[in-house]
Amino acid sequence: MNLRSAKLLFSVAAFAALVQLRAQSESPSPAPGASPFEETIVPTFETQKLARTYVLDIPAPRGLITDRNGAPLAQNRLSYNLAINFPTPLDFSDPQLLAYVHERIQAAEKLLGRSLKISDDLIKRHYHNRGILPFEIVQNLSDKESDDLKTRLPAGMALRPYYVRIYPNGKTAGQIVGYSGKTGRNPDGIIDNHEVLWPETEGREGLEQTFNQVLTGKHGEYKITFDKDGRKTSEKITTPPVPGHTVVTTLDLHLQELAEKALEAKAKRGAIVVVDPNTGDILAMASWPTYNPNAFTPNISAEKFKALQDDPDIPLLPRAFRSSYPPGSTFKVAVGIAALESGTVRSDEEFNCVPSIQIGNVLFHNWKKTDRGPLNFVEAMTESCDTWFYQVGIKTGSEPILEWAQRLGFGAKCGIPLRGEVEGRVPNDQYMKATHGRKLLNGDIANLSIGQGDMQTTPLQMAQAMGIIGNGGTFYQTRLVEQVQTVDNEIVTAFQVREKKTLGASADTMSQLRTAMINVVNGPGGTAHQASLDGVSVAGKTGTAQWGPKNKERTAAWFAGFVPAEKPQYAFAALYEGDVGSTAHGGSAAAPMIAMILKDVYKENGNKKKRTDPGDIRVRKAEPVEEDEGD
């Protein structure tokens, strides 16, 4: 659906209730089964003393939230409440009032086939304080119920229209879009001028919350006038409501669906982020498990909300940007850049990839148990040799590694307009002193060199870093919202693509890194063969890290990279969060999720690009690696 189609869909929902209100207000006389606005309305004694004219506010329909192509992620539908209208003048005694209302409640129960529990106190309070307005006895009727009732309403009853927020894609992008809730309950006190005809909604989470002000729109006005004897003389819409603005995101709904399906199929918990490396746009940002924001509209029960809060897999947590994890061997991209750019090692310089290495009093192991012999940078990166990176990391020193990590965006918020984004962590000497009472030692640098220890990153930061590497070194401001516009497509606010800075690494270093990442997926010793595609060259890096306290330690398994390797369209990061006590590896747990997405994308696009010439990247036909995939 394009933006024009979304606009039309919005317009129908936005103004349907308004048109109905206008038609009702212009009706010459009440009729059986008439709407609440067709009754002759007389104020009670109390309200007669307060005013002869009531000006009530009509809530504006909430603005749309769409994907980049105009497909709605949040919109409105017209719903109905069942209400009782009181005859005028309002001179019922309490027994007469209760008899009148009970008769209509019983009729409604028979028509709906369900029991209605409404207290007599509530009935009397409404009648004495605000009898000129309908008394709602059933809220949020189903479409079938409202359709059935339209032709069968008993006299003195009406269907009262109002807007309900809906999320047409269910769970998809739910943690990004968020949800809205009522600002209050239906009032039962004496009517005040400019009180709303029905409770409004406000954003409580996600984009609904961040952009609540522009999504809310402006109230309209509905005026009811009475003569000195309390007889209604007129009622009309004096000012129509102005719909809220539309928030156009950078998300691609199809990619978001693919990411969530991949997580649902292959992970109990995790996250996938896909960005455009050439703009910084977030195309998909999925976390699993997630929730359906429709559960919150028009409201959610305390029991259901508590069940979501108490779920041990935490579906209310958007792991993609609100959780951080040790990056494991995916962080070797930063270590490699630091080593090559600082001149600590040359691209052809070799270090032995031994099974283990002694650093201080601790024996640090490689994930492979065999001696792999001397390796250069591309070879060590391809096989993800830990002992190679221990040596190179210590030789390089912590300062260049931390500097290049920060240049890649690690340790800083990406700046998306969502509450609760975390910074991750790049552990410098100041942090180590505050936390551990010491500076970074060689053992700490060894841990840092394979993305373990105190280093932490979010899946969003990882995808951002891969976008920088994929495009050759341009750091774009990560963008989740393209623009805010009126219902007539006039742009109110535009968030332009913005280049923040350049990485500053040499072309030779970036070429070495790209070659290594292609080999990770396609080379004979690579750790991510399960992410390879026919016809499209994928570049990536796996990672596996231990995470959490020792007695509850879990595995964070990663696969991150970009595709096509030669001229990237997508940069990505996939995080698989393992169970306590279980093992998972980036190559076998995270890489297949990305492959599942990309196979659909490139099949759909009919994009069968030729792989990079193996002679250019030193890649042979992929062969199985050791059964223990490590990374």
Question: In this structure, which amino acid lies at residue 41?
Answer: I
**Got the DSSP string for 340-368?**
HHTTSS-TT--EEE-SEEEETTEEEEPSS
The per-residue pLDDT for range 577-592, each reduced to its tens digit, is: 999 888 899 999 999 9
Residue 582 CA from chain centroid, whole number: 28
Q: Please report the sign of the dihedral spanned by the C-alpha atoms of residue 478, residue 484, residue 490, residue 494.
A: negative
Count of CB atoms within 10 A of residue 622's CB?
17
Domain 253-617 has CATH 3.40.710.10: yes
Phi, psi of 533 (to 5 degrees): -125, 155
In angstroms, the CA 551 to CA 532 distance is 36
In angstroms, the CA 414 to CA 394 distance is 29
Radius of gyration of the chain from Cα atoms? 31
The per-residue pLDDT for range 107-142, each reduced to its tens digit, is: 999 999 999 999 999 999 999 999 888 999 998 899
- Which residues, in sequence order, are CB contacts of 65 under 8 Å at separation 6+? 72, 73, 74, 75, 177, 207, 208, 211, 215, 246, 247, 249
For 436, the 3-state DSSP assignment is: helix
* Rounded mean pLDDT, 503-520: 97
In angstroms, the CA 516 to CA 95 distance is 85
Does the pLDDT of residue 33 top 70, yes or no?
no
The per-residue pLDDT for range 263-291, each reduced to its tens digit, is: 999 999 999 999 999 999 999 999 999 99
Question: In this structure, which amino acid lies at residue 157?
Answer: M
Q: Do the beta carbons of residue 286 and residue 321 sit within 8 Å? A: no
User: 3.90.1310.10, 1.10.1380.10, 1.20.58.220, 1.10.3470.10: which CATH number matches 3-249?
Assistant: 3.90.1310.10
Residue 28 CA from chain centroid, whole number: 49
Q: Which of 593, 540, 591, 529 is nearest to 565 (CA)?
A: 540
For 2, the 3-state DSSP assignment is: coil
Q: Which helix (H) or strand (E) holds 265?
A: helix 253-266
Q: Do the beta carbons of residue 287 and residue 319 sit within 8 Å? A: yes
pLDDT at 88: 79
Asked if omega into 154 is within 30° of 0 (cis), the reply is no
In angstroms, the CA 505 to CA 508 distance is 8
In angstroms, the CA 485 to CA 246 distance is 5
pLDDT band per the 50, 70, 90 thresholds, residue 606: low
Question: In this structure, which amino acid lies at residue 322?
Answer: R
pTM: 0.87
pLDDT at 185: 76
Q: Please report the sign of the dihedral spanned by the C-alpha atoms of residue 552, residue 205, residue 320, residue 302.
A: positive
**Do the bridges between strand 474-476 and strand 499-502 make them parallel or antiparallel, or are there none, so unpaired?**
antiparallel
Does the pLDDT of residue 211 top 60, yes or no?
yes
Domain ranges of the chain: 3-249, 253-617
Q: Do the beta carbons of residue 595 and residue 532 sit within 8 Å? A: yes
pLDDT at 345: 95
Structure tokens belonging to residue 112: 């709906």
